[in-house]
Amino acid sequence: MYELHTPVDTKAVAKYMGYYLIAFTFVLIVPMIAALLFSNIEAAIYYGATAVAAFGLGSIIYRTLPEYELETKEALVIVALVFPVSAFLSAIPMSLSTGMTLFDAYFESVSAVTTTGLSVAPADVGPVFLFARSWGQWVGGIGIILVVLSVLISPGTTAYRIYKANYGDMKIKPTVISTTRTLGKVYIVITLVSIILLLLSGMSLFDSICHAFCCVSTGGFSTQASSIGAYQGNLIPAAISISCLLGAVSFVLYPYLLKKPEKFFRNKELRYFLALIAIGSVLFAFTLSKENFGYNVIKDNLFQIISAVTTAGFSTFDLSILSEASKAVLIFMMWIGGNMGSTAGGIKVFRVLLLFKVVHNVLLRLFLPKENITPMKIEEHVIESDEIYNLVTFMLLYTLILVVSAFIFMLHGIDTSSSVFEVSSALSTVGLSAGTTSAAMPFVLKAVLIIDMLFGRIEIIPLILIFMPGTWFKRKRTNKRMVKI
């Protein structure tokens, strides 16, 4: 079996990473323009120089190497490399323009491109930093891969494999190129809707743009140190909640809103997602009622549940004051997350439905003959055996990473509930913090959260692939002689 294993073609991976570097140049130009608008020439130079360097390197790679047809394993490796490399390129000008250490800037950049929202940034870092961070989340939400597919890569097998590695099998158009362009249009439209909602609710234009970027990408970075708690009244939290919900619903459903609205509202995953919010709100309200502080039913209770389950990560109050029971409800919401095909993180509602379907089938088969076939189906989607294997593998790895990461936190003196809360927030790309994540946090714990955020955004298996020797090197064949006894 091992003799049949072939590693990835490193030249093919390099070729498409060259495409990516060219595309990422345009991502870096936007904060450069923002820096010029804010008269921060120094920051503009740093972002501009990084953009030029990325474009130059990408162009050299692109022109030097011939065209390649990608295999699935190579597409997975490219998707796994894109996010940590994007974070590194973003961290360089961020560190130079703010005075943050490169490692802290990398933490911030990883939190941005993975749409997490955990932060170790100091106070008063300036509007350019706040915009660049929000912009990073918006780009990370839809994925730089979509930009590469939409603009640079021609239709074909390679485009399909890159798309599948990042978005799975969901398609709303005949080709993946037309699908990515439609998804991009949907993303832009709901971003504009979010900006309008926030402006109407009383936010400034700058805050509206930054928060809209982070809402639709379900990222959670805020321009205010106390997040949404800095704003008075219920209008802004309501606008934020609606925007986060728009980002956490599968983008595949949106085109049906105009053509077949009944298909949108009858979607099983969406209905269970909304039911989960209702149940979570009741449970959270029950736990909050037992605590010794006043809270607003809409602004604190419903808002915080929506923020957790959409994996947006905004907050209206200091979560470190919550009881163990209240933290447990939020942890459970963060674990589940939003819909497949959305910008939300977490396990996803579809996987939870599939898991319950598997359990139901196992129990059902106890009462049926062994030769009886019991197919599994969620709406029109027939569940294949490969999907079940992938689900079991994902759940096992997710649990293992969660336990190991939380244990490392506990070794550094963090209590159990806070350790699980912080790690769950990173692994589900949420961004809520119980007060543990800060600039003063030990290097090891920052590194753990960085790895967890990458695992959460890339969905574990592709990231593991790049660290497996067999991905890059062919295993040497060993000749074994058979000895007769």
Distance, CA of 182 to chain centre:
20
| pLDDT value for 483 | 42
Task: List Cβ neighbours of 260 (8 Å cut-off, separation of 6 or more).
Answer: none
| pLDDT value for 176 | 62
Please name the amino acid found at residue 98.
T
| pLDDT value for 481 | 43
User: Tell me: the pLDDT tens digits for 36-83?
Assistant: 999 999 999 999 999 999 999 999 998 898 877 777 778 788 888 889
| pLDDT value for 2 | 38
- Residue ranges in the chain whose pLDDT is less than 70: 1-5, 143-177, 292-294, 370-375, 377, 379-381, 475-485
Element (H, E) at 354: helix 349-365
DSSP symbol at 428: T
Task: List Cβ neighbours of 117 (8 Å cut-off, separation of 6 or more).
Answer: 111, 137, 214, 219, 220, 221, 312, 313, 314, 430, 431, 432
Whole-angstrom distance, CA of residue 277 vs CA of residue 349: 11
| pLDDT value for 110 | 96
Whole-angstrom distance, CA of residue 83 vs CA of residue 155: 23
Task: List Cβ neighbours of 109 (8 Å cut-off, separation of 6 or more).
Answer: 86, 87, 88, 90, 91, 94, 136
Task: List Cβ neighbours of 35 (8 Å cut-off, separation of 6 or more).
Answer: 41, 43, 44, 47, 97, 128
Secondary structure (3-state) at 121: coil
User: Tell me: the pLDDT tens digits for 150-197?
Assistant: 544 554 555 555 555 555 555 555 566 677 777 788 889 999 999 999
Q: Is 98 within 8 Å of 105 (Cβ atoms)?
A: yes
Please name the amino acid found at residue 25.
T
Q: Is 318 exposed, middle or buried (0-12, 13-18, 19+ CB in 10 A)?
A: middle
User: Tell me: the pLDDT tens digits for 280-320?
Assistant: 999 999 998 877 666 777 788 899 999 999 999 999 988 88
Break the chain into its structural domains and give their ranges: 2-336, 380-472
Q: Is 279 within 8 Å of 374 (Cβ atoms)?
A: no
